[in-house]
Amino acid sequence: MKYFFAAVFQFQLHRAMCIASGEFDPVNPSKPLHKCSIYRHPEAGNILKKLMSRGASQSWQQAIQEVLGEGRLDGSAVREYFRPLEEWLRNENLRNQEFVGWVYDGDYCKKSIETANLQVFGGFYNAGSYASINTKVLFITVLTYVYKSLLFV
């Protein structure tokens, strides 16, 4: 779980450093986040220095609030970074008339479970159809037990 949060925070921190260094502008399409380079930008280094200098003296929420101006993790930086890829995929899917997602075909899961004869929650998914068989087996078992017990009395 910590790696998931670290990945989200990494993009959030990258966006803040890119904005501070002037390499990324959310309203300027000629300066996208995925092309940002913070190399040799002291403004980006200062953000990282401020954040790291706090150590464990503050909670991470307080630290990013004071340094980045954002008080919580925000996944929008990940979406912003990968926006060109997302747009390209959307356009390619439209161009190739690809359908993204699943088509609901009624009760596919039920049919699959019945076909595979799978058990669900300790019983058969279609237990209703097996009820009459189970009842007959139980009845025959009880009848046999009673018959044997009467013979040996």
Global pTM value: 0.64
Quote the CA–CA distance of 90 and 67 in Å, as a whole number. Answer: 35
Give SS3 for 120.
strand
The per-residue DSSP string of 24-47 comes to --TT-TTS-GGG---TT-HHHHHH
pLDDT tens digits along 11-30:
999 999 999 999 999 999 99
7 has a pLDDT exceeding 50: yes
